[in-house]
Amino acid sequence: MRRTIVALVRSAGYEARGFASAEEFLRCGTVRGFACIITDVQMPGMSGIELKQHLTASRCLVPVIMITARHDPGLEAQATASGAVSFLRKPFDAGALIRCLEGALAP
Amino acid sequence: MSGSKSPSKRRWRVARRRLPRQGGLPAVAGSQRKTEAPNTDIEDRKRAESALQRSEDFLAEAQRLSRTGSFGWNVSTGEIFWSEETFRIFGHEPATNVTLDLMLSRVHPDDLASVQRVIDRVATHREAFDIEHRLQMPDGSVKHLHVVTHALVDKPENQEFAGAVMDITAHKETEHALRHSERRYQNLFQAMAVAFFEVDYTSSRQLLRALRDAGVGDFRRYFKENPTFVRDIMRATRIVDVNDRTVALFGRGRKEELLTSVESFWPEESLQDYVEAVLASIERNQEFSTETRMRRLDGTIFDAHFTLRYASEDGQRGLAGVIDITARKQAFLALEKSEQRYRHLFHNMPVALWQLNAEPLIATFKELRGQGVGDLSTYIDDHPEFLANAIGALMVEEVNDYTVQLFGARTRQELLGPTHWTWAKSIDTFRRAMESRWRGEELFQETTKLVTRDGRVINALFTAARPQTIEGLPISLISVIDLTEQVRAEEELQRVRADFAHAARISMLGELTASVAHEVNQPLAAIAAGGEASLRWLARPTPDVDEVQELTKGMVADARRASEIIARIRAVATRRAPEPILLSLDDVIGEALLFLRHEVESRGVAVSHFSALGPQKVLADRTQLQQVVVNLAVNAMQAMAQAESKKRNLTIRTVAPDPTRLRCSVEDSGPGIEPRHETRLFDSFFSTKDGGMGMGLRICRSVIEAHGGRIEADNGSSHGGARFSFTLPVASA
């Protein structure tokens, strides 16, 4: 899935890179060099929401788009509360993701 | 020799030599006296001579035939004359010069003294004598002689004796044999375990004769009409002697008591048997025997075997033998009863029974052992024809009614003889039965499939018993219990169990709908996104074919993954008969975890799988075993979720606690099992979950037990929660 999203974003004309987990992304050292972050809510280790909270705490304001396969009620509210700019449920429409991305990057 | 006058030795011998033998002349009774008669007439003399010669020839012949020799002895002159036969008896050539010493040299050493005494007395007192003594012949044989003399008293001054020597050896031997036989008879008579008594029929014969004289022809009828007459005959039949055994059997200690008539021996009920004995005697049968009942002096009656033999030609004396057969009769009755019981059991048992004659088979075994065959199994491998031959050698001699029914035969005869027809599906069973017999086992039992006479195949418990002590006959008893119904019930149970497990899987799929949907959606979403991305690459002014190629590869892989997931779900949802195969327990756990991946992720559970197993396998149905693992894992995750545990750990371990078993345990970090629930965990409809059916653990137990294992629960988790463990037997091979 990760691989497909990277390909999809690149097909829209952006540069993109995939990471296996939130921890791996945080360790890459160029977090502030990215214009947007797309993350799954549920991941082994740090969750998407925890990642956003971590970024906020470290004053990193890169917009975060969250995706989830879960249908727990309240999950979207939690994501929005944490500061996510968009929230998508799988399976999502590719156009919808691009629209979210364009929205997040709009000046 | 009597009447011969002063025969001198010389003259007699000369006379004997002078007389050539001539036959064909009339016999003339006479003696040598005639030779003494003066006769001047030549013709007369010639006639007299030939008559004399004839007479001598006849005498010699008579002596030879009667083994009697003659002799003359002149005590005064010491002259001794022997006849030809006397020479032969003494074993000397006729020409020998006879002296007293010659005679004495042949006398048996043991008899020499007494013979000498007799001779001395004759010489001194001139008395005639009559003695028996023995001769010791040069070849070592012994002859018995009877010697008789008398004095020729007409010449007192010239005392002569004439005598006869009889060879009584044969007679002596006969006498000896007779005495021996008589003694033997007496010994037998007294010592045999048969009561013998000798009876005198003289008086009873007279009664019968009188009856015949009175015109009675049909004795049988007469006896029937006159039973008192039979009693009369009994009373007239006297017992003259009895042996000790008779005293013991009939009497009260004293022999004399029994020496009366036979009447008291014959109770009323045996009258007819006695009549038969009498009739047999009238018909001049030498021997008669019957089984009857006889009476003792004290009045008690016993079963007897009675034999009667007429000892004398005229039927005046008879010998009766009686054997007490009470014990034998009782034993026989008991045997008969037990035989009847056996027959009854054999024929009426609701079990198929065959009686086999194993004699030819045992002979074959003996032969093989003689050839040095030690292991029959190896022998059969080398000689596969042995089995067919062995079946041919085992003949069914008898079957019971139930066998006829069970084996679909029309008659009992159809089932007798060799049993080739029944082993088509189970020759291995027959082989193992042979090997068992070879090892000398008394019992062999196996469940197997047997072909019936009408071609059906039945599931049966086959048992062969080889009792070693049925009169030494090598008999085998086979019992066949029809297990068809039982096997059908067992199969039905298996089917219900499988249905039950299937229903539980469907129910679980329902519970896991979200996870299942996610599992399927994941690759589908990826494919959709991949498609969109490809379209975008293609829509560019310069389509990027390389990018599209990469994306398309990814989509193909995702589509394959999707179909694998669907196949997995399908396997869970499909209803089919369990199919035990050799499985690695760890593989099954891995597959279950794959199925639960989304569930695990979405519940935020950390799962670990530790294996301490080698290559051991279990024989199990893959889907059912997966179901157990999934069930236990889902239970653990639900328990942790329900308790809102912060830390959610699930560990699955596999170990081999001993060489025969494998164990899998599922440990969680939930609240553990409440002690009051522990005993009811695996019961049906027991649940601590909200909306739980309470069938999950029940199914787990049913599946594990059907695979020969056990399942149990405790709070021994390394994470401090509950631990569910099951064991399964290690599959051999």
Task: With cut-offs at 50, 70 and 90, classify the pLDDT of residue B382.
Answer: very high
User: Mutating which of B515, B518, B597 best tests the A interface, going by the most A Cβ atoms within 10 A?
Assistant: B518
pLDDT on residue B26? 37
Which residue from A5, A69, A70 is facing B529, i.e. has the nearest CB? A5
Which residues on A lie below 8 Å from B598 (Cβ)?
A: 69
**CA–CA separation, B138 and B146 (whole Å):** 20
Residue A8 clears pLDDT 80, i.e. is over it: yes
* Chain mean pLDDT for chain B: 82
pLDDT tens digits, residue range B188-211? Answer: 656 566 788 889 988 888 888 898
* Burial profile B344-361: b = 16 or more Cβ within 10 angstroms, e = fewer: eebeeeebbbbbbbbeeb
What integer pLDDT is reported at residue B387 of this predicted model?
92
Is pLDDT above 70 for B656?
yes
Residue B81 pLDDT > 50: yes
Alpha helices (runs of H) in B604-693, residue ranges in sequence order: 622-642
The tens digit of pLDDT for each residue in B481-490 reads 888 888 888 8
Q: How far apart are CA B586 and CA B595, in angstroms?
A: 14
- Cβ contact B129:B118 at 8 Å: yes
pLDDT of B33 over the 70 cut? no
Looking at residue B678, what DSSP letter applies? Answer: G
Among A4, A15, A100, the strongest candidate for a mutation testing the B interface, having the largest count of B CBs within 10 A, is: A4
Higher pLDDT, B696 or A99: A99
Tell me if B264 sits within 8 A of B239, measured CB to CB: no
- Is the confidence at residue B358, as pLDDT, over 70? yes
**pLDDT of B230:** 92
List chain A residues with CB under 8 Å of B554. 3-4, 7
The pLDDT assigned to A69 comes to 73
pLDDT at B469 over 70: no
* Residue A94 to residue B532, Cβ atoms within 8 A: yes
More confident residue, B389 or B17: B389
Q: How far is CA B518 from CA B122, B553, B592, in A?
A: 153, 22, 16
Under the banding of pLDDT at 50, 70 and 90, the label for residue B13 is very low
Interface test with chain B among A8, A40, A49, A93, by most B beta carbons within 10 Å: A8
Asked whether the predicted pLDDT for residue B51 surpasses 80, the reply is no
Chain A contact probe: residue of B518, B532, B537 with most A CBs at under 10 A: B532
Cα dihedral B342, B346, B347, B352 in deg (nearest 10): 180
Counting one residue from A and one from B, how many pairs have CB atoms under 8 Å apart? Answer: 68
Percent of chain B with pLDDT over 70: 86
Element of type H or E holding B302: strand B301-310
pLDDT at B662 over 90: yes
Q: Report the pLDDT value the prediction gives residue B435, as an integer from 0 to 100.
A: 92
How much is the average pLDDT of B684-699? 67
Q: Give tens-digit pLDDT for A61-102.
A: 899 999 987 767 788 888 889 999 999 887 778 888 889 999
More confident residue, B407 or B287: B407
Question: Which tokens is B40 given?
Answer: 């001047």
Residue A20 near residue A54, CB atoms below 8 Å: no
pLDDT at B39 over 60: no
Torsion (CA) B708, B709, B711, B717 in degrees, nearest 10: -170
Answer whether A70 touches B (CB < 8 Å). Answer: yes
Q: How does DSSP classify residue B414?
A: G
- The conformational region for residue B258 under phi > 0 = left, psi -120 to 50 = alpha, else beta, is alpha
pLDDT at residue number B232: 92
Q: d(Cα B361, Cα B394) in Å, to the nearest integer?
A: 6
Using CB atoms, pick whichever of A42, A44, A95 lies closest to residue B532.
Answer: A95
- The predicted model gives B321-332 an average pLDDT of 82
Residue pair B115/B109 in contact (Cβ under 8 Å)? The answer is no
The angle that helices B622-642 and B545-573 make with each other, rounded to 10 degrees, is 100
The pLDDT of residue B348: 78
pLDDT at residue A16 in the model: 92
Summarize the confidence of residues B410-423 as an average pLDDT: 90
Question: Measured between beta carbons, which residues in chain B are less than 8 angstroms from residue A44?
Answer: 601
The answer to whether the CB of B259 falls within 8 A of the CB of B240 is yes
Task: Please tell me the least confidently modeled range out of B13-22, B653-662, B718-727.
Answer: B13-22
pLDDT for residue B32: 40
What average pLDDT does range B172-194 have in this prediction? 68
pLDDT at B25 over 70: no
Name the more confident of A39 and B542: A39
Q: Dmax over Cα atoms in chain A, in whole Å?
A: 35
* φ, ψ (nearest 5 deg) of residue B357: -95, 115
Q: Considering chain B, what percentage of its residues have pLDDT values greater than 90?
A: 26
Nearest 5°: the CA angle B329, B330, B333 is 85
Please compute the mean of the pLDDT values over residues A21-40 and round it to a whole number. 90
Q: Which of B525, B536, B602 is opposite residue A92, by nearest beta carbon?
A: B525
Question: What pLDDT sits at residue B22?
Answer: 40
Mean pLDDT of A15-32: 89
Task: Name chain B contacts of A11, Cβ cutoff 8 Å.
Answer: 532-534, 536-537, 547
Picking from A8, A42, A71, the nearest residue to B601 by CB comes out as A42
User: Residue B24: is its pLDDT beyond 60?
Assistant: no
pLDDT at A55: 92
Which residue from A71, A92, A95 is facing B514, i.e. has the nearest CB?
A71
How many C-beta atoms lie closer than 10 Å to residue A57's C-beta? 8
B52-56, B257-261, B584-588, B677-681: least confidently modelled range:
B52-56
What is the C-alpha separation between B365 and B371, in angstroms, rounded?
10
- Chain B neighbors of A5, CB-CB under 8 A: 529
Regarding an ipTM greater than 0.85, the answer is no
Q: How confident is the model at residue B34 (pLDDT cuts 50, 70, 90)?
A: very low
- What is the edge-to-edge ordering of all strands in the sheet holding B142-152? B80-82, B68-74, B160-167, B142-152, B130-136
Averaged pLDDT, A32-54: 89
Q: How confident is the model at residue B449 (pLDDT cuts 50, 70, 90)?
A: very high
Mean pLDDT of B557-568: 89
